[in-house]
Structure 1
Amino acid sequence: MTGGRGAARILDGMSDSPEARVPSPLAELSDERFASGGVRLWLKRDDLIHPELPGNKWRKLKHNLADARAGGHRTLLTFGGAYSNHIRATAAAGALYGFATIGVVRGDELADRPLNPSLAFAAARGMRLVFVDRGTYRRRAEPAFATELAAAHGDFFLLPEGGSNAAAVRGCAELPAEIDVDHHVVAVACGTGGTLAGIAAGLAPGRTALGVAVLKGGFLSGEVTALQRAAYGRATANWRVEDDFHHGGYARTTPELRTFVEDFRARHGVALDETYVGKLLYALTALAERGAFAPGTGIVAVKTG
């Protein structure tokens, strides 16, 4: 579906789209590694929300697209690496809802190579790809760089790398209201912190959000706090970040993680990516086996992709 009245209707309430599945399904998993400690585990299948905007990408973009439309913008511009899921999602959203899209991609050397599947998908959805060197890419948060991009490409609505901003936080804050089982913890893999910030903001009293960092550096706590303040003017105290399960950093893996992901598929019939959700479930399983969760705890793990 593209522009016009249909796009406006979707932007008023994107769950009206026949392609969107909200609330996303919630299924309990039977796993003795949790059950032996009296812990229950549910998997919230946000990956099934939308065929081209799965998981937290749909939630993050929902209010941003409405803001872009309300501001009269016809073009979305964003940033990402060569394999960025956010670049893919922004390109798909533009094609679905009637926006032109520009992706500023880290690595000018990529312009001379065949497009990888992620960038080929974005280009096929009409995204204009702009390749910049890594030094230039580091300027992505500078207002002066945004001014330069506007001079080169015209007016646009700016989406940050990863899509995490105040509007994205508000979209992710809608997730907890969809959970209709007795739970105490909602857990999610974290790259930029926007999904964790929103989930924590939307939780009922007495519940906790747990983020599993997929990057090294231990910087996420500051990012989550800043995002909550941008969205709501204050930060909550009902969340924490686990920094020890990144398996070497973003898009890195280990033999232990690969074995875990294969075993999880065999046990539950659910495929996990090794970049985000595999690390999340690995962390939760390890924590459960250590007795980190009190007996009777109910955990909802969000499968974002």
Structure 2
Amino acid sequence: MFNSKIETTNQSLKIDFNKNIELSVKREDLIHPFVSGNKFRKLKYNIILAQKQQKNTLLTFGGAFSNHISAVAAAGKEVGLETIGVIRGEELYDKINTNPTLSFAKSCGMIFKFKSREAYRDKTSPNFISKLKEEFGDFYLVPEGGTNDLAVKGCEEILTEEDSKFDYICCAVGTGGTISGLINASKSNQKVLGFSSLKGDFLNKDISKFARSTNWELITDYHFGGYGKINDNLIAFINKFKAETEIPLDPIYTGKMMFGIFDLIKKGYFKPNSKILAIHTGGLQGIDGMNAKLKKQNKPLII
């Protein structure tokens, strides 16, 4: 699976913006039912290296509804590697079976280590990693969110020669790995736009660590209050978009990106006759967890 070349198709959207704007979606979400989108791209070369180093276990980090945790668990099961998830929040210990992400990861064989939010902040420290090795033995460490040099290398494979016709490449941004790969693979005449799912512009520094050119911009106006935060307007947009295009969007990443693209088109950000490619980075497993929260709040659900 990870040793083979994967190419995805672009789906052109027939939406009348009255501005001669052409919008297409690269369906990276269709790569794999459980290891889809940028998670497949980020894990590809990390798993190849782990196998080359004859590691038997992948260890990584994430929160209660992490796409990354879900993807690592599924990928490990598929290639025959044990998986360990260090999970943010000790209170989740007795909620595994009611949490869709954790229950899925458990079904794939992932072992969990729950840490308090305070302790979790030190997850990258040598002492923290050393204690994990004392407890679990040798493992291949994949960082939270999956972003490292090998992840960026994998994300550089998202764009193909066919995509050189687009003026803008758009993607959601969480840790900066995906957009960095897109920047490195883009043409000099293209502009790469990243739609941040988190508050603040600190991601500019993280992206700059990996990006080899400056033809990019981080858009920070569509986080809807921060990571994991949504409102009724976003839910309505996601549901309307799916009804009109048959393309599902997740509420954490791709839904916010697409909302932002539509809003920028309306505001005249893009020049007339522009061709835009939006990267669908997957993350659809997060819909169930968000709907569970919305149901408790008597809010509209994502369909």
Q: What TM-score, normalized by structure 1, do the two folds share?
A: 0.89
Rounded to whole Å, the distance in 2 between the matches of 1:69 and 1:63 is 10
Moved more, 110-119 or 56-65: 110-119
Matched, 1:148 2:131: yes
3-state DSSP of counterpart to 2:278: strand
Rounded to whole Å, the distance in 2 between the matches of 1:176 and 1:64 is 19
Rounded to whole Å, the distance in 2 between the matches of 1:83 and 1:264 is 23
Rounded to whole Å, the distance in 2 between the matches of 1:42 and 1:145 is 44
Q: 2:227 aligns with which of 245, 250, 263?
A: 250
- Partner letter of residue 179 of structure 2? L
Partner of 1:300: 277
Matches within 5 A, 1:121-160: 121-160=104-143
Partner of 1:102: 84
- Partner letter of residue 154 of structure 2? G
Rounded to whole Å, the distance in 1 between the matches of 2:4 and 2:34 is 14
Partner of 2:7: 23
Rounded to whole Å, the distance in 2 between the matches of 1:178 and 1:92 is 30
Q: Deviations over 1:154-211 (max 9, x none)?
A: 0011100000111000000111126446211110011111100111001122112110
Name stretches of at least 5 consecutive residues in structure 2 with no aligned partner: 283-303
Rounded to whole Å, the distance in 1 between the matches of 2:162 and 2:155 is 13
Identity percentage of aligned residues: 40
Rounded to whole Å, the distance in 1 between the matches of 2:188 and 2:148 is 24
Q: List, as ranges, runs of 4+ consecutive aligned residues in structure 1 with deviation greater than 6 Å.
A: none
Offset, 1:53: 0.5
Q: Deviations over 1:101-138 (max 9, x none)?
A: 00000011111334311001111111101111111110
Offset, 1:266: 2.3
Counterparts in 2 of 1:244 and 1:180: CA distance versus 1, 3 Å: closer
Rounded to whole Å, the distance in 2 between the matches of 1:114 and 1:71 is 32
Question: How well do the aligned residues superpose, as a CA RMSD in angstroms?
Answer: 1.3
Partner of 1:58: 40
- Partner letter of residue 75 of structure 1? T
Q: Deviations over 1:255-283 (max 9, x none)?
A: 22112112212221222111111101100
Name stretches of at least 5 consecutive residues in structure 1 with no aligned partner: 1-9, 16-21, 229-234
Rounded to whole Å, the distance in 2 between the matches of 1:63 and 1:107 is 29
Q: Determine if contact 1:104/1:131 at 8 Å carries over to the other structure.
A: yes
Rounded to whole Å, the distance in 1 between the matches of 2:162 and 2:64 is 34
Partner of 1:3: none
Partner of 1:209: 192
Q: Deviations over 1:6-56 (max 9, x none)?
A: xxxx44x233xxxxxx311211101112xx112110011000011111100
Q: Determine if contact 1:45/1:303 at 8 Å carries over to the other structure.
A: yes
Matched, 1:43 2:20: no
Rounded to whole Å, the distance in 1 between the matches of 2:193 and 2:15 is 20
Matches within 5 A, 1:78-93: 78-93=60-75
Rounded to whole Å, the distance in 2 between the matches of 1:45 and 1:80 is 25
Matched, 1:71 2:53: yes
Partner of 2:152: 169
Between the two proteins, the alignment pairs up a number of residues equal to 281
Q: Determine if contact 1:168/1:194 at 8 Å carries over to the other structure.
A: yes
- Partner letter of residue 153 of structure 1? F
- Partner letter of residue 121 of structure 1? F
Q: Determine if contact 1:23/1:178 at 8 Å carries over to the other structure.
A: no
